[in-house]
C-alpha cells in the first residue's frame, strides 16, 4: 500500500541502467528536476570553500549541520538539494553547510569521504557539528561520524545507504521499479569502488553521536538503514528511528506533490530540530527515543 496516489504512479517499469558516458546527462536531468520543485525557505545563502572543498552555506544561528547530498556518489550536487538544505536550516535554526564533494566516476573512493571529512574538520572550529545526508550522502555522513568519533553532536540520516554491498533482504525485495533501481546503483557503486570504506553494519559504533534515522517501506535501502539504527541502539547510542509506511526512496524530493511524503518530511524536520536543540543534553534525547 502506498501513502498516496502520486507515489503509486511512480512504481513499475523496467530497470534503469546507464554508462559512464551518460553521466553528464544524468547530472543535468537531476538539476532540471530540482529546478522544477518549489524553492525552500528564504535565508542568507552563500557559496564558498571550507577545508579546500566547495560548499554552500545556509546561514542561521551558531552550530553547524554539515550536509552530504545523495545521488549514488555520481549525480546530485549543491543545486539538487538546495531546497532540502533550506528546510533543514529553517527547522533546526542551525547553519547548514552543504558539501560539493567530488563524485564518481571521475573521482573514486575515498575522494567524497575525504571531502566531507575536510568540511567537518573545518566546521568543528566553529562550534557543535551535526552530520547529515540522504541516500549515498547518508553513507558519507556515517563515515564522518566514524572518523570523528566522540567529537560530533548528532547524525541526521534520510533513506541512508548503510550497506554498499547491497546485501540486505529489501534490496532483493525492491530491486527494480521502486524509484531507486538497484542494477543501476550497483554500477554506480562499482565506479566509486569503496573497497576501503568502513562498513557501518560491521563497525564498532560506540561513541557515535545521537541519531535520527528515517527509512521507508518501499525502498531497497530500507533494511540497511534499519540495521544501522538497531546497531546504534545496541552500542548505547540514542536513536530516533522511523520506518515510514507507504513511501519510496528520497521522499523529501516529492514533498511538493505527495501528501504522504510531505507529512514524513515534516516529521523528519521536527525530529532533527529536537536532536539539535538537545545536543547539550543527550540524556534528555535518550529518554525521548
Which residues are marked as active site?
135
Nearest to 66 by CA among 9, 3, 138: 138
3-state secondary structure of 258: coil
How far apart, in whole angstroms, are the C-alpha atoms of residue 48 and residue 255?
28
How far apart, in whole angstroms, are the C-alpha atoms of residue 69 and residue 117?
14
What residues are paired with 216 via a beta bridge? 244
Q: Are strands 53-58 and 94-99 parallel, antiparallel or unpaired?
A: antiparallel
DSSP 187-241: HHHHHH--TTS--TTTS--TTPPPEEEEEEEE-TTHHHHHHHHHHHHHTT--EEE
What residues are paired with 67 via a beta bridge? 98, 132
Output the nine-digit C-alpha cell for 212: 535520527
Nearest to 180 by CA among 217, 218, 133: 218
Phi-psi label, residue 263: left if phi above 0, alpha if psi -120 to 50, beta otherwise:
alpha
Q: Which residues contact 87 (CB under 8 A, 6 or more apart)?
A: 40, 41, 252, 265, 269
Helix axes 259-277, 82-92, angle to 10 degrees: 50
Output the nine-digit C-alpha cell for 224: 540497511
Amino acid at each position: 500500500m502506498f501513502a498516496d496516489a502520486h507515489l503509486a504512479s511512480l512504481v513499475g517499469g523496467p530497470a534503469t541502467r546507464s554508462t559512464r558516458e551518460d553521466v553528464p546527462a544524468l547530472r543535468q536531468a537531476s538539476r532540471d528536476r530540482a529546478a522544477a520543485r518549489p524553492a525552500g525557505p528564504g535565508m542568507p545563502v552563500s557559496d564558498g570553500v571550507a577545508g579546500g572543498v566547495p560548499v554552500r552555506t545556509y546561514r542561521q544561528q551558531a552550530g553547524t549541520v554539515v550536509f552530504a547530498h545523495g545521488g549514488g556518489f555520481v549525480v546530485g550536487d549543491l543545486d539538487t538539494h538546495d531546497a532540502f538544505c533550506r528546510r533543514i536550516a529553517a527547522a533546526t535554526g542551525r547553519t547548514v553547510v552543504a558539501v560539493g564533494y567530488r563524485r564518481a566516476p571521475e573521482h573514486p573512493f575515498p575522494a567524497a569521504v575525504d571531502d566531507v571529512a575536510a568540511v567537518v574538520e573545518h566546521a568543528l572550529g566553529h562550534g557543535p557539528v551535526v552530520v547529515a545526508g540522504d541516500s549515498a550522502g547518508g553513507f558519507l555522513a556515517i563515515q564522518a561520524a566514524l572518523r570523528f568519533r566522540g567529537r560530533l553532536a548528532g547524525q541526521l540520516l534520510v533513506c541512508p545507504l548503510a550497506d554498499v554491498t547491497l546485501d540486505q533482504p529489501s534490496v532483493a525485495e525492491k530491486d527494480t521499479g521502486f524509484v531507486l533501481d538497484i542494477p543501476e546503483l550497483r554500477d554506480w557503486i562499482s565506479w566509486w569502488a569503496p573497497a576501503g570504506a568502513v562498513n557501518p553494519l560491521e563497525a564498532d559504533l560506540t561513541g557515535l553521536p545521537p541519531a535520527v534515522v528515517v527509512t521507508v517501506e518501499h525502498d531497497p535501502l530500507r533494511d540497511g538503514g534499519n540495521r544501522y539504527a538497531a546497531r546504534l541502539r545496541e552500542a548505547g547510542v540514542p536513536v530516533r528511528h522511523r520506518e515510514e509506511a507507504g513511501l519510496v526512496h528520497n521522499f523529501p524530493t516529492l514533498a511538493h506533490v505527495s501528501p504522504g511524503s510531505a507529512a514524513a518530511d515534516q516529521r523528519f524536520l521536527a525530529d532533527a530540530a529536537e536532536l539539535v536543540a538537545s545536543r547539550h543534553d543527550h540524556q534528555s534525547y535518550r529518554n525521548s527515543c
